[in-house]
Structure 1
Amino acid sequence: MIYRFRVILDNDTEDDIFRDIEIRETDSLEDLHNTITQSFGFDGLEMASFYVSNDAWEQGEEISMFDVSEGTNAVRTMSETVLNDIVHEVQTKLIYVYDFLNMWTFFVELAEIVDEAEGADYPNLMYVHGQIPDTAPEKAFEAEDLDDDFNELDDDIDVGDYDNLDFDENWN
């Protein structure tokens, strides 16, 4: 079977930027990663990860390019994860982050599952809409996005008043 994905750049501009991609359900997430980077014009040399997502586009389990867990808790890697093991009719959404310094973020959604077309080459870039900007869109965080329970400056302590701080200045 063939998975048809729509890959949408997460940006705050008026212009939608997306690619429609066909890929075999038995290909790996690494194959999808390579297809996405090529279709958006990236060189593919930066680190990237997929995240399982729900209908609200909340970031779940990470599936990375490499296992950097140092043996403590092994993580799933793109090369070892087959598409139909992670994406199917019930679980259709992934978040893809490319280049962790610039944080290119994409919403990846399974749009359709179809039969393989005889003589077709896969993966296949079906449709291109919009040009990717020169720099990654900056994320604007609203105050409501922050956790109100954690505000380290809201504790009525004057950090400039060294005489009344509760610590031993000769601790070492």
Structure 2
Amino acid sequence: MAIYRFRISFEDFDEVVREIDIKSTQTFEDLHKAVHRSTGYSAEKSSSFFVSTDNWIKGDEIAYLPNQRKIDRGIALMETSKLSSFIEDPHQKFYYIYNFDRPFDFHVELIKIVLETDPNIEYPYLVKSTGEAPKIIDKSNFGAVAVSSNPVSTDFDFLNEMDFVPEDTDELEAMGGRGINTEEKDEDTEDESEDEADEFSDNDNYEDEEYNNKEDY
């Protein structure tokens, strides 16, 4: 019985790496759960390994908690699929998708094969851990993430975010006393219009008197 050493890295966070030793006779479910003991994620999420080419093109799928459509299709299941049954290359690669609801993608590569097991080690065994796995934001920890990312205040400033412009004059006065009384402005405009009308009327009367005086001559 051989020991496989797999290098597991996040596709989008390649600085986060785990190396895990696992028996060739163990299953993909054993590897799946070992990965998430090392990341801190819940293993009880629908996930899949895909036999992959060197260019990470997905092939046959090995699933955990598959949906009914995949079950009806006769998909391979992690709990019954031994690792050795899918190793065709000493550098075999698997593309791994964790949690289809909020997926993280991983690259899984076989980097070493040891022909003897260590009786003092319980497999799967975490050989190396580099980098912290990114946090998963969901309903259970959304508030906690918000507090940790903003320790000063957890209040969301809706007014600033929406570029709020108050319409009420009381709000304007409270924000600096520069409010404009639109009703008074309209009344002033009407008074100015009436004054201009009276001025034109007076001019017309003056012109009529001047014309009549010319006729007297």
TM-based fold match above 0.5: yes
Distance 1:96 1:70, change over 3 A: closer
Contact 1:52 1:61 in 2 (8 A): yes
Contact 1:65 1:77 in 2 (8 A): yes
Distance 1:135 1:70, change over 3 A: closer
1:126 counterpart residue number: 127
Contact 2:90 2:110 in 1 (8 A): no
Residue identity opposite 1:75 in structure 2: I
Between 1:17-26 and 1:36-45, the stretch displaced more is 36-45
CA distance, structure 1, for counterparts of residue 89 and residue 77 of structure 2: 22
Deviation, structure 1 residue 91 = 6.2
CA distance, structure 2, for counterparts of residue 8 and residue 71 of structure 1: 28
CA distance, structure 1, for counterparts of residue 79 and residue 134 of structure 2: 28
Secondary structure of residue in 2 paired with 1:116: coil
CA distance, structure 1, for counterparts of residue 4 and residue 75 of structure 2: 24
Distance 1:20 1:69, change over 3 A: same
Contact 1:69 1:75 in 2 (8 A): no
Distance 1:22 1:90, change over 3 A: closer
CA distance, structure 2, for counterparts of residue 72 and residue 26 of structure 1: 27
1:112 counterpart residue number: 112
Larger relative contact order, structure 1 or 2 (CA cutoff 8 Å, min sep 6): 1
Deviation, structure 1 residue 66 = 3.7
Residue identity opposite 2:101 in structure 1: L
Secondary structure of residue in 1 paired with 2:79: coil
CA distance, structure 2, for counterparts of residue 71 and residue 104 of structure 1: 22
Instruction: Please list every run of 5 or more consecutive structure 1 residues that lacks an aligned counterpart in the other structure.
Output: 137-172
Deviation, structure 1 residue 118 = 2.9
Instruction: Please list every run of 5 or more consecutive structure 2 residues that lacks an aligned counterpart in the other structure.
Output: 138-217
2:174 counterpart residue number: none
2:36 counterpart residue number: 37
Deviation, structure 1 residue 132 = 1.1
TM-score normalised over the length of structure 1: 0.72
2:93 counterpart residue number: 93
Q: Which has the higher Rg, Structure 1 or Structure 2?
A: 2
1:62 counterpart residue number: 61
Secondary structure of residue in 2 paired with 1:31: helix
2:198 counterpart residue number: none
Decide which structure has greater strand share.
1
Contact 1:93 1:107 in 2 (8 A): yes
Deviation, structure 1 residue 23 = 0.4
Deviation, structure 1 residue 19 = 0.3
2:103 maps to 1:103 = yes
2:158 counterpart residue number: none
Contact 1:57 1:95 in 2 (8 A): yes
Contact 1:54 1:91 in 2 (8 A): no
